[in-house]
Amino acid sequence: MAFHRRRNHYHNRFRSILPVICTISGALLILFALLSFLAPTPIASNNPQHMNSLYARNSVVEDTIGESVLHIPKKGRTDRDIWSSRNSKYYYGCSNASIKFANADAVTQPNRYLLIVTSGGLNQQRTGITDAVVAARILNATLVVPRLDQKSFWKDSSDFSEIFDVDWYISSLSKDVKIIKSLPKRGGKTWIPRSMRVPRKCSERCYQNRILPVLLKRHAIQLTKFDYRVANRLDTQLQKLRCRVNYHALKFTDSILQMGGKLVHRMRMKSKHFIALHLRFEPDMLAFSGCYYGGGDKERKELGAIRKRWKTLHVSNPDKERRHGKCPLTPREVGLMLRALGYSNDVHIYVASGEVYGGEETLAPLKALFPNFYTKETLASKEELEPFSSFSSRMAALDFIVCDESEVFVTNNNGNMARILAGRRRYFGHKPTIRPNAKKLYRLFLNQTTMSWEAFASKMRTYQRGFMGEPKEVRPGRGEFHENPHTCICEDSEAKAKKDSGPRKYGKGYDAVGDDVLGEDEPELSDPGDDGYQNGPQEKDQFNGTGMDYDGITNEEPELEEILSD
């Protein structure tokens, strides 16, 4: 009986506290559900692509978080001049012909005419125009003014004389190569030249063995898709001829120069110094790179549709591409890089870019870091740009002028405009040209919120050594000659010797970006092969790694080089 009474007692007691237990359990379940709903998903917190999303809604939040953690100072570095190279005054462009380089009148053979048709956008065509002069000299032929590509992806109907000063081009090179505006008639009839295509990176011997026999037989030949069709390694005098063409003979028309000059003047009126940024964050560029920026299915669908233009473009691994430094930085990452290198938020930036993927949302973080943000469209009226706006090459020429005149030029890819400008800025005084060391910066951006701003900036400066456009940053012979015209850059040995014998201005431990460093982080430029051939303009080392010959792509398919040109 006692046992039964005890059991009933405990049973009644349990029944009395059961509602309390249920109430507490229910409250805990509700609280747990609420916390689960509000907590970030594992993807949002761990996925680097999501963290680096290009969309402003995500980026602005991250920028806010980043600034609160990194405490980005508004002012830049004051311990050194970040607007020029310390050693640039010891180097200068030198491309005059040797007295042993025979005059064009003495070597040009009669009844030899060379015509070329360029390929791609403005800067890709510029390489063809430059190399056409060299090819004509090798063949001892008269060059007909090059015909520009009017059928490619860019669909620009401009001819040579509408972009470049054709009379200056002909006269300034008169001692090197005979150039005429059109092919003469033959027997009173229009002369139709033999059309052919020269192999990529064709050496002097290649031209003499493959092209010259046809020229001797037909007397007039037309080389199509003429870009990067001359070897990277040539005789010194031919390399200097390349420089005379590229840096002296190719001058824009007066109308383009005047409008470009207005844009530069308006930037100078706003600030003594300015940065020009070739952002290259257009949809076609991102599609070609195969990279992913955190935009979900919408981004994959949109960029995937663009990628279908290239039937030969392989499917890439976005994470691998980013780890290997083959993805363009987002506008936000470019802004953080520049701030870490010492450029303050009051610096004026000119952005050369087409349609940015994501529009204003994508640009918002960059504009927050650098509010003084300009483009040719914001500096000039529609009426002023009207003569140029319907022609992609003329618009690209305006950007080219402003980027060339800027104190600091920043490129976000290694396409044709970046290469041409890098070489030109080396030739004319080694003005700072910054190219992101994307392979190293990938990890730095991934871990940016785990370190102080001082640590972040210090690592940034370390990683960017060798990527700032300093003299001797790239070994002679590395990369495209248009990017690294080492044969045409001379050293003032006497002035440098005086400098080296003088007292050191900076101590041994001085941490500065831009010292002459040829270490393991030397820019990864493509190397020409021993036979003078290389994959070069295919951007193999920078983006897709396919190494394909784009000559095999059909006319309906935009060429990869064309997308990368400007």
Residues 526 and 539 sit within 8 Å (Cβ to Cβ): no
Q: Which whole number is the average pLDDT over 223-236? A: 95
Q: Which whole number is the average pLDDT over 453-461? A: 95
Quick: pLDDT tens for 36-86. Answer: 544 443 333 334 443 344 444 334 333 443 444 567 887 776 667 899 988
Quick: pLDDT tens for 390-426. Answer: 999 999 999 999 999 999 999 998 889 999 999 999 9
Q: Which whole number is the average pLDDT over 428-451? A: 92
Q: In whole angstroms, give the CA distance from residue 351 to residue 186.
A: 50
Q: Does position 230 have pLDDT exceeding 80, yes or no?
A: yes
Residues 177 and 116 sit within 8 Å (Cβ to Cβ): no
Q: Which whole number is the average pLDDT over 434-447? A: 93
pLDDT at position 76: 72
Q: In whole angstroms, give the CA distance from residue 511 to residue 367.
A: 28
pLDDT at position 280: 87
Q: In whole angstroms, give the CA distance from residue 415 to residue 101.
A: 33
Q: Does position 203 have pLDDT exceeding 80, yes or no?
A: yes
Q: Which whole number is the average pLDDT over 130-134? A: 98
pLDDT at position 55: 43
Q: Which whole number is the average pLDDT over 526-535? A: 34
Please tell me which of 73-82, 321-330, 539-548 the model is most confident about, judged by mean pLDDT. Answer: 321-330
Q: In whole angstroms, give the CA distance from residue 279 to residue 207.
A: 38
Quick: pLDDT tens for 158-199. Answer: 999 999 999 999 999 999 999 999 999 888 888 899 999 999
Chain mean pLDDT for the chain: 80
Q: Does position 145 have pLDDT exceeding 60, yes or no?
A: yes
Q: Which residue type, as a one-letter code, is found at position 483?
A: E
Q: Would you report the helix, strand and coil content of the chain in percent, each value rounded to 5?
A: 50, 10, 45
The pTM of the full predicted model, rounded to 2 decimals, is 0.79
pLDDT at position 292: 86
Q: Which residue(s) pair with 142 in the sheet?
A: 113
Q: Which whole number is the average pLDDT over 464-483? A: 89
Question: DSSP states of 228-257 as a string?
Answer: S-B-SS--HHHHHHHHHIIIII--B-HHHH
